C-alpha cells in the first residue's frame, strides 16, 4: 500500500462509506492525528472519521479485506504511542472524534449510555447539573474510548477504582471479515452468565476491537472537599501515614498522592503562577497531597471537612509523633493545581523518559529509594522526578536528561531496559500501570509477558479479531 | 468409568497424589459432597481433597489424561448445582476444603493472600482485630473459591461492588494435559499490560480452571451502622426514594434492599424469634431496608448515624411527600436478621423455584409488578416471594408452589422458561445475577447466549482449558 494510486483507491472506498469530507489525506489535515502527546510523530496513509458504529464496522470490514492496519484514535492524549500511526505511512487512523451523538442519561440506573467520542470534560460538564460525574479523575482530557482502551485509573482510584470497575456495558467492532459488532450493552450491574467479554476489550489498547459505545457508572459529585499537604519525616513514614489516614477517614479519603522534590521544583519553575505552600518556601524531599471528600452538602451541626482533616492530622501528630515533619490544610484547588502541574513541569526540565509503573503500595517508596541510590552510578546525568498514586501503588516514574544533549535513543533504550528489569523482575511491579501498551511498550510486553499468557492472548486475538488492528501486536497480528 | 474396578484404579491413582485418607469413596463420606444446598443430590465416583496448588495440578493432570470430569467444590453453598456431581456416578468431586493454609495479611497493601478453601466467616474473623474485612456480604457462608467462581455480589454491592472488583490476583490450574498452573498473583491494584486473564476465571463457574489461591482487597470495617425500614407509598416511589437517599447520603449508603410482603410473612412464620417491627404489626406490600455505615468511630461533635438517617428521612418526608408511607429507624442487627431470614422462610413455605435475576435498577420493581399481574393467569398456584438488591438491580425472584403436590419437574421447566423469557427477552435482564450458571442454568445459558459470544467462549475453553472440568459445559467440554 505504498503506492499513491493504492492510497487513492482506498480513499475512494472509505469516502463511499463515511463521506468524502471525513477521509483526510492532506499533510495539514492529518498532522494532528499523526502527532501524539509526547515525542510521538508518525505518518498516516489516511485518516478516516466514521460517525457511528455502523460506519466503523464498514470501515473495519474494508480494511480487513484489504489487509490495512487501522489505528483507532480517541482523544489522542495517551503517552505510549497507542493511538498514532507508525512511520511507515501504511497505517490508517480511524478517528473516533465524530462518535459523539448518543448521550442517554439514566438517572434511576445512575449511568449514562454514550458514544465513546465524547471528551471526559464534556461528559462531566453535562452531568454536573445532575450532581453526578464519571469519577475517573485524570490530568489529561481524553475521550472516553481511549479511557476504555487503556483502563485509566487516575488520582482518585483509591475511592472510585479504575475504568474497568465503572463500565456497565460496551459495544465493540472486531476486526473480522464482517466487521462484526458485539453488543454487551445490557447496562446491568450484576450479570454472571458466562465469560464477561467486556473485560477482554477494556485495557487492551484497541487490539481486540474498537469500542464504539458504552454505558458507564456514575457517582455523586463531591460536594465538600478538603485537602492537606503532608510532609513525612522519612520515606518509611509514608505507609504508616496512609494507614493512619485510612483508619480515621475510611471512604472519605479520596486521594493520597506523592510528589518528589524534583517534580515539585520543576512545576514551580515552569508555572510561575503556582503559589509555594511549603513552610518558608522550602520544598521537602517528598510531600503528599491528601484529599477528603463528601458527596453531600454539610449538614447542620456537622464539622466542616477542613476541621475534620485538621483534627485527624492532629491525632496522628500526637499518637504517632515520628511520622509527620509538617502538615498544612490548604485550598484543594491550589494543591491540585500544583499536583496537576507536575507532569508539564517535569517535561520542561529537559528530555523526559517517562515510566508509568505500579507496585504493591509499600513498594512505590521502596522502589524510588532504590533508584535514587543506584541511578547516579548508572545514569549520572538523569534526574528522577517521580510523583503519583501512593494510595493505589501507581507511580509516574519520570526521568529527565536535564542536559538534552546527553540524550540519545540508544541511551533511552538502555535506561528503559534497566528500569523495567528492576521494576518488574526485582520489585514484582507492572511496566504499565494505566497508560497501556502502545508501540512504546511493545518490546517490554514481548519481553515480560510469560509464554503461558502470551500464547493464549495471541490465540484469543486470532479467534475473535484476526485482522490487523491497533498499534499493539498480539501474535502475528 | 462405570465399572467398579475402574473406580478402584482411579482411587488408587488419586491416593498416590493426595494421600489415601483424602480420597473418599464410601457413601457416608461422600454424602455431604454430593448434596447441594437446595434440591440438589448427585452421585460422585470419588471425592478427592488435595491440600495445595501442586496437588490440585497433579489431580487435574491425571483426570485430563483419563477423560475424568472433575467438579471443583468449594463451600458447596451455591444454589445452581455448580459444585455437585450429576447423577451419572462418573464425575469426581475435587474438594477445595483442605486448601486453607496460606493466609498472608499485607497491611500496607490492604490485602490478603490466601488459599481459596477459607470460609468467608473465618477470613473476616481473622481480619476483625485489624479493623479490616473482605466486604462481600452474603447470607450464606461460602468458601472464597466459590465466591470467585461465581463472582458473588451480595447485599452491600452498592458500596463495595462484587468479588471481581475486589480481586488483586489469582492462581489457577487449567485443565490441560500438564495441569498448568497460571500465576496472576501480582497483588497490584493497577496493571494494564495486556489481557487481564483473571477476568476469564472469575465468574465462569470453574469451567476454565480451578482457582487455588488469591489475593483480595480489604476494606475498613464499618464502625458505625444505622438502619431504617422504609415503606414506600407505591412501587413507583421506590426509585425516587433510592435517588433521594443517594443524593443525601452518598457513600454512606451501604445497602438498599427490597422485601416483598410474601417474603417477609414467610420469614415471620418460619422464624418465631423475629420481632415484627412494622406499625401495628401490619406487613406492607413492600419494604426497604436501608443501611448507612461509617468506617470510623464517631468523632466528638459528630452527629450519630441514627440521627443522620432520621434527619434524612425527615427531609425526604417533607420535600417529597408522596414517597414514604412510613419509615422507622431500627436496630441494624434486628433488621438484618429479618432480611437474612427471608430465604429460609420462603423455602419453608412450599416447593420453591428460585430465580436470581438482575435488571437495570428501575426494572426490578417493573418486572416484579408485571409478574404479579400476570402470574395468576399463567400459574395460579404459585406465590411470588421476591426480595433483593434494589440498589444494584438484583432480585431473588423466588416462586413457591405452596401446595407442594402441584409441583412437578415439568411444571418447573414450564415456569422457568416463561420467567426467563420475560426477564431476558422482554426486560433485558440477566438470568443469573450472582449465582452463576451451574447445571441448573445450563439450558438457559445455551438458549440465551448469542452465537457471537457462545462460539468464542467455547473456543477460549478449548484453547486454555480443553479437558472436562466443572458442572457447566462450554462447547463440547
- The verdict on a CB contact (< 8 Å) between A246 and B110 is yes
Average pLDDT, chain B: 95
A–B interface: beta-carbon pairs under 8 A? 236
Question: Percent of chain B, pLDDT > 70?
Answer: 99
Residues A323 and A241 in one domain: yes
Dump strand ranges (E) for B233-277: 253-260
Residue B422 lies in a domain: yes
Q: Can you name the residues that pair with A217 across neighbouring β-strands? A: A111
Which residues of chain B make contact with A449, given a CB cutoff of 8 A? 193-194
Interchain contact B451–A (C-beta under 8 A): no
Closest Cβ–Cβ partner in B151, B296, B359 for A192: B151
DSSP labels, B294-328: ESSPPPTTPPPHHHHHHHHHHHHHHHSTTSEEEEE
Domain-embedded: residue B256: yes
Residues 6+ away with beta carbon under 8 Å from A264: A283, A287, A338, A342
Distance from CA of A108 to the nearest CA of B (A): 6
Given a cut of 80, is residue A300 above it in pLDDT?
A: no
Q: For B193, which of A220, A393, A430 is closest by C-beta distance?
A: A430
> What ipTM describes this predicted complex?
0.96
Query: Is residue B468 in some structural domain?
Result: no
Average pLDDT over residues B111-119: 98
Q: What is the pLDDT of residue A38?
A: 86
Distance CA A186, CA B358 (A): 10
- Determine the structural domain holding residue A36 and report its residue range: 4-95
B-chain CB neighbours of A175 within 8 Å are none
pLDDT reading at A298 higher than 60: yes
Residue A2: pLDDT over 80: no
- Confidence category of residue B303, pLDDT binned at 50, 70, 90: confident
User: Helices (DSSP H) in A105-156: which residue ranges?
Assistant: 120-127, 144-150
In a shared domain, residues B33 and B140: no
Residue B316 has pLDDT above 90, yes or no: yes
Domain boundary among A173, A205, A220: A220
Q: Does B411 touch chain A (CB under 8 A)?
A: no
Q: Which of A150, A430, A435 minimises the CB distance to B188?
A: A430
Nearest CA in chain A to B391: A109
The Cα B345–Cα B387 span in angstroms is 12
User: In angstroms, rounded to a whole number, what is the distance separating the alpha carbons of residues B333 and B281?
Assistant: 19
Cβ contact (<8 Å) for A187 and B430?
Answer: no
Residue A465 Cα to chain centre, angstroms = 24
Burial of A229 (0-12, 13-18, 19+ CB in 10 A): buried
Helix ranges (H only) for A95-222 are 120-127, 144-150, 157-160, 198-201
Longest Cα separation, chain B: 76
From chain A, the residues in CB contact with B361 under 8 A are 108-110, 189
Share of chain B above pLDDT 90, in %: 94
Contact between chains at A453 and B359 (C-beta distance less than 8 A): no
Question: CB-based contact (8 Å) between B151 and chain A?
Answer: yes
A248-289: per-residue pLDDT in tens? 998 889 999 999 999 999 999 999 999 999 999 999 999 999
CA gap A383, A405 in Å, rounded: 14
- State the average pLDDT over residues A352-364: 97
Contact call for A246 and B430, based on CB within 8 A = no
What was the pLDDT predicted at A470?
96
Interface test with A, best of B113, B181, B189 (most A CBs within 10 A): B189
CB contact burial A57-86 (16+ within 10 A = b; e otherwise) = bbbbbbbbeeebbbbbbbbbbbbbbbbbbe
What angle, 0 to 180 degrees and rounded to 10, lies between the N-to-C axes of helices A238-249 and A305-319? 130
Secondary structure of residue A183 in the 3-state scheme: strand
**B197 and B278 share one domain:** no
- Residues of chain B with C-beta less than 8 angstroms from the C-beta of A362: 106, 108-109
Distance CA A128, CA B458 (A): 43
C-beta atoms of A301 and B296 within 8 A: no
Q: Is residue B261 part of a domain?
A: yes
pLDDT score for A251? 83
pLDDT in tens, A218-257: 999 999 999 999 999 999 999 999 999 999 998 889 999 9
| Interface contact A456-B463, CB threshold 8 A | yes
Q: Do A76 and A144 share a domain, yes or no?
A: no
Chain A contact present for B341, CB below 8 A: no
Provide, as residue numbers in chain A, all residues whose Cβ is less than 8 Å from the Cβ of B389. Answer: 190
- Contact call for A460 and B457, based on CB within 8 A: no
pTM of the model: 0.96
**Chain A nearest CA to B436, separation (Å):** 5
Backbone angles phi, psi at A288, to 5 degrees: -125, 130
| pLDDT per position as a tens digit, A121-139 | 999 999 999 999 999 999 8
Residues 6+ apart with CB under 8 A from B276: B268, B283
- Residue B13 has a pLDDT of 98
Best of B192, B237, B238, B257 to disrupt the A interface (most A CBs within 10 Å) is B192
Q: Give residues with Cβ within 8 angstroms of A194, minimum separation 6.
A: B204, B437, B445, B449, B453, B454, B457, B474
pLDDT for B297 equals: 82
A365: contact with B, CB 8 A cutoff: no
Q: Compare CB distances from B249 to A296, A389, A453 and report the shortest one's residue.
A: A296
pLDDT of A296 reads 84
Q: Which of B164, B191, B243 sits opposite A433 (nearest CB)?
A: B191
Q: Higher pLDDT residue, A402 or A297?
A: A402
Residue of B nearest to A241 (CA): B108
Under DSSP, is residue A206 helix (H, G, I), strand (E, B) or coil?
A: coil
Comparing CB atoms, the residue among A106, A109, A250 nearest residue B295 is A250
Q: Which residue among B60, B76, B95 closes a domain?
A: B95
Residue range A104-133: mean pLDDT, rounded: 98
Select the residue of B190, B433, B435 nearest A394 (Cβ to Cβ).
Answer: B190
Contact B93, B47 (CB under 8 A): yes
pLDDT(B298) > 90: no
- Same domain membership, residue B133 and residue B206: yes
- Predicted local confidence at residue B4, as pLDDT: 66
Q: Any chain A CB within 8 A of the CB of B269? A: no
Report the residue of B156, B174, B191 to disrupt the A interface, i.e. the one with the largest count of A CBs within 10 Å.
Answer: B191
- Write down the mean pLDDT value for chain A: 95
pLDDT band, residue B107 (cuts 50/70/90) = very high
CATH of residue B397: 3.30.70.2740
Residues B171, B237: one domain?
A: no
Residue A186, chain B, CB below 8 Å: the answer is: yes
pLDDT at B476: 64
**Per the domain annotation, does B451 fall within a domain?**
no
- Cβ contact A190–B459 (<8 Å): no
pLDDT at residue A1 greater than cutoff 60: no
State the CATH number of the domain containing residue A40: 3.30.43.10
User: Residues B313, B392: one domain?
Assistant: no
CA B133, B134, B136, B142 dihedral sign is negative
Instruction: Tell me, yes or no, if B150 comes closer than 8 A to chain A by beta carbon.
Output: yes
Please check whether residue B110 touches A, CB under 8 A. Answer: yes
- Inform me whether the C-beta atom of residue B306 falls under 8 Å from chain A C-beta atoms: no
Average pLDDT over residues A61-67: 97
Q: Kindly state whether A442 is in contact with chain B, defined as any CB-CB distance less than 8 angstroms.
A: no
Chain A contact for B129 (CB, 8 A cutoff): no
Comparing CA positions, the residue from B453, B432, B475, B474 lying closest to residue A184 is B453
Please identify among residues 379-408 of chain B the ones whose CB lies closer than 8 Å to any CB of chain A: 389, 392-394
Mean pLDDT (whole number) for A339-345: 95
pLDDT of residue A4: 66
pLDDT band at B43 (very low <50, low <70, confident <90, very high): very high
Residues in a beta bridge with B432: B356
Please give, rounded to a whole number of angstroms, the shortest distance from the CA of B329 to a CA of chain A. Answer: 19
For chain A, give the number of residues: 477
Question: Nearest-CA residue of chain B relative to A182?
Answer: B452
Query: Which residues 6+ apart lie within 8 Å of B426 measured at CB?
Result: none
Nearest CA in chain B to A204: B194
Measure CB to CB from residue A193 to each of B192, B195, B430 and give the nearest one.
B430
Residue B141 lies in a domain: yes
As a whole number of angstroms, the distance between CA B455 and CA A172 comes to 16
Q: In this predicted structure, what is the pLDDT of residue A65?
A: 97
- Whether residue B358 lies within 8 A of chain A, CB to CB, comes out as yes
- CATH at A299: 3.30.70.2190
pLDDT category of residue B250 using cuts at 50, 70 and 90:
confident
Residues of A in contact with B420 (CB under 8 A): none
pLDDT given at position A477: 65
DSSP class of residue B197? T
| B249 shares a domain with B181 | no
What is the spatial distance between Cα A363 and Cα A430, in angstroms, rounded to a whole number? 12
Q: How far is B27 from chain A (nearest CA, A)?
A: 33
Q: Give the pLDDT confidence of A175-199 residue by residue, as tens digits.
A: 999 999 999 999 999 999 999 999 9
User: Of A344, A362, A396, which residue sits at a domain end?
Assistant: A344
**pLDDT for residue B3 is more than 80:** no
- β-strands A181-184, A253-260: how paired? unpaired
CB of A460 within 8 Å of any CB in chain B? yes
A398 and A364 in one domain?
A: yes
Q: With respect to residue A116, please indicate whether it lies within any of the assigned structural domains.
A: yes
Q: What's the DSSP call for residue A390?
A: G
Residue B300 confidence (pLDDT) = 76
A17 and A73 assigned to the same domain:
yes
Residue among A199, A302, A448 whose CB faces B303 most closely: A302
Q: Are residues A319 and A358 in the same domain?
A: no
pLDDT grade for B477, boundaries at 50, 70 and 90? low
CA dihedral over A26, A27, A32, A37, signed as positive or negative? positive
The model's confidence at residue A301, banded by pLDDT at 50, 70 and 90, is confident
Measure the CA–CA gap between B319 and B434, rounded to whole angstroms: 36
Same domain for A332 and A306:
yes
Task: Calculate how close chain A gets to B100, using CA atoms only, in Å.
Answer: 24
Q: Is B296 on the interface with A (CB under 8 A)?
A: yes
The verdict on residue A449 lying in a domain is no
What is the reported pLDDT for B38? Answer: 86
Neighbour-count burial for A5-20, b at 16+ CB within 10 Å, e otherwise: eebeebbebbeebbee
Percent of chain A clearing pLDDT 70 (strictly above): 99
User: How many domains are there within chain A?
Assistant: 4
In angstroms, what CA-CA distances link B109 with A160, B36, B249? 17, 36, 28
B1 pLDDT exceeds 60? no
CB nearest B188 (choices: A295, A303, A393)? A393
DSSP B428: -
Which residue of chain B comes nearest to A155, CA vs CA?
B190
pLDDT digits (tens, 9 = 90+) for B391-442: 999 999 999 999 999 999 999 999 999 999 999 999 999 999 999 999 999 9
Q: Which residues pair with A23 in a beta bridge?
A: A48
Amino acid at each position: 500500500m505504498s503506492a499513491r494510486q493504492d492510497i487513492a483507491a482506498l480513499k475512494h472506498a472509505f469516502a463511499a462509506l463515511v463521506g468524502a469530507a471525513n477521509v483526510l489525506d492532506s499533510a495539514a489535515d492529518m498532522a494532528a492525528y499523526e502527532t501524539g502527546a509526547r515525542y510521538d510523530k508518525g505518518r498516516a496513509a489516511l485518516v478516516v472519521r466514521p460517525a457511528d458504529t455502523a460506519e466503523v464496522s464498514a470501515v473495519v470490514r474494508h480494511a480487513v479485506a484489504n489487509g490495512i492496519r487501522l489505528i483507532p484514535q480517541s482523544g489522542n492524549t495517551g503517552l505510549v504511542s497507542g493511538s498514532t500511526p507508525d512511520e511507515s505511512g501504511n497505517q490508517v487512523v480511524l478517528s473516533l472524534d465524530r462518535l459523539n451523538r448518543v448521550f442517554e442519561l439514566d438517572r434511576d440506573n445512575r449511568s449514562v449510555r454514550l458514544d465513546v467520542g465524547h471528551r471526559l470534560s464534556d461528559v462531566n460538564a453535562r452531568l454536573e447539573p445532575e450532581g453526578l460525574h464519571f469519577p475517573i479523575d485524570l490530568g489529561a482530557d481524553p475521550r472516553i474510548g481511549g479511557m476504555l482502551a487503556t483502563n485509566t485509573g487516575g488520582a482518585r482510584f483509591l475511592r472510585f477504582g479504575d475504568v474497568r470497575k465503572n463500565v456497565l456495558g460496551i459495544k465493540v467492532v472486531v476486526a473480522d471479515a464482517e466487521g462484526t459488532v458485539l453488543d454487551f450493552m445490557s447496562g446491568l450491574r450484576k450479570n454472571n452468565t458466562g465469560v464477561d467479554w467486556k473485560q477482554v476489550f477494556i485495557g487492551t489498547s484497541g487490539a481486540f476491537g474498537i469500542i464504539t459505545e458504552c454505558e458507564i457508572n456514575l457517582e455523586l459529585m463531591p460536594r465538600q472537599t478538603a485537602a492537606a499537604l503532608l510532609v513525612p519525616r522519612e520515606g518509611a513514614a509514608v505507609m504508616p501515614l496512609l494507614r493512619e489516614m485510612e483508619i480515621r477517614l475510611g471512604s472519605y479519603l479520596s486521594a493520597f498522592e506523592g510528589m518528589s522534590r524534583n517534580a515539585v521544583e520543576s512545576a514551580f519553575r515552569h508555572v510561575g503562577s503556582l503559589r509555594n505552600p511549603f513552610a518558608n518556601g522550602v520544598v521537602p524531599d517528598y510531600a503528599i497531597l491528601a484529599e477528603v471528600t463528601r458527596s453531600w452538602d454539610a449538614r447542620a451541626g456537622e464539622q466542616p471537612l477542613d476541621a475534620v482533616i485538621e483534627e485527624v492530622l492532629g491525632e496522628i501528630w500526637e499518637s504517632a509523633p515520628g511520622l509527620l515533619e509538617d502538615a498544612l490544610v490548604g485550598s484543594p484547588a491550589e494543591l491540585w493545581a500544583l499536583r496537576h502541574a507536575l507532569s508539564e513541569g517535569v517535561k520542561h526540565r529537559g528530555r523526559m523518559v517517562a515510566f508509568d509503573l505500579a507496585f504493591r503500595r509499600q513498594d512505590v517508596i521502596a522502589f524510588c529509594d532504590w533508584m535514587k541510590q543506584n541511578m547516579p552510578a548508572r545514569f549520572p546525568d538523569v534526574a528522577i522526578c517521580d510523583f503519583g498514586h501512593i494510595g493505589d501503588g501507581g507511580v509516574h516514574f519520570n526521568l529527565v536528561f536535564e542536559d538534552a544533549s546527553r540524550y540519545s535513543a540508544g541511551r533511552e533504550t538502555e535506561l528503559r531496559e534497566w528500569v523495567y528489569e528492576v521494576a518488574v523482575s526485582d520489585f514484582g511491579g507492572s511496566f504499565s500501570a494505566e497508560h497501556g501498551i502502545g508501540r512504546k511498550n511493545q518490546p517490554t510486553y514481548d519481553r515480560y509477558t510469560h509464554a503461558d499468557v502470551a500464547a493464549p492472548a495471541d490465540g484469543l486475538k486470532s479467534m475473535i479479531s484476526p485482522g490487523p488492528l491497533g498499534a499493539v501486536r498480539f501474535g502475528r497480528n
